[in-house]
């Protein structure tokens, strides 16, 4: 078993990804699961610097994105980082997930952790059945791309879908 740090726990620290990796190393941890808050850029040179730091310190580096739904507020940071790095963010949602997969690969992450919504999604009156259908369509395309890149996607329960709904999504994606 490996013990790592989720960068969400450092989100108010002002640390950039290299700083988070250095903290994990200092604490004797094995790696970091990055969510997007410490990132300031997805440009290739910045991703290479982060990957190099992780490799030099012998740390794993996993990437998690915000929502797979571009309309969701949790998707905004990812779109901003992608746009700043020159990606076209006017593309369909599945393509945005695939762009995040490309970022994960550049970081040396074997996976991309994704979420759909958050704990407010259901309470805000969204049709969860319709969202599940949309998630399946997005994830089918993204999981195929992940496989082609030698990566995996991991759908996190983010207090939006029930366990039964997540199991149904997983079964229908077929990945």
pLDDT bin (cut points 50, 70, 90) of residue 175 is confident
Residue 110: exposure state from Cβ atoms within 10 A (0-12, 13-18, ≥19): middle
Number of domains into which the chain is organized = 1
Count of Cβ atoms closer than 10 Å to residue 45 Cβ:
7
pTM: 0.96
pLDDT by residue (tens digit) across 75-100? Answer: 999 999 999 999 999 999 999 999 99
Q: How far apart are CA 72 and CA 20, in angstroms?
A: 26
Enclosing domain of residue 141: 4-173
* CATH code for the domain of 123: 3.20.20.150
């Amino acid at each position: 078993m490996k013990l790592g740090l989720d960068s969400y726990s450092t989100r108010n620290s002002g640390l950039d990804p290299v700083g988070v990796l250095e903290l994990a190393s200092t604490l004797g941890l094995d790696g970091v699961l990055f969510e997007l808050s410490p990132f300031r850029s997805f440009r290739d040179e910045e991703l290479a610097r982060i990957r190099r730091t992780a490799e030099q310190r012998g740390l794993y580096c996993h990437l998690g994105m915000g929502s797979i739904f571009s309309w969701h507020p949790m998707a905004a940071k990812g779109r901003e980082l992608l746009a700043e790095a020159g990606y076209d963010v006017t593309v369909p949602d599945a393509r945005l997930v695939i762009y995040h997969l490309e970022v994960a690969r550049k970081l040396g992450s074997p996976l991309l952790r994704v979420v759909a919504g958050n704990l407010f999604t259901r309470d805000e009156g969204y049709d969860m059945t319709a969202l599940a259908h949309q998630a399946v369509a997005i994830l089918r395309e993204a999981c195929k791309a992940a496989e082609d890149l030698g990566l995996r996607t991991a759908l996190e329960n983010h207090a939006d879908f029930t366990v039964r709904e997540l199991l149904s999504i997983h079964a229908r994606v077929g990945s």
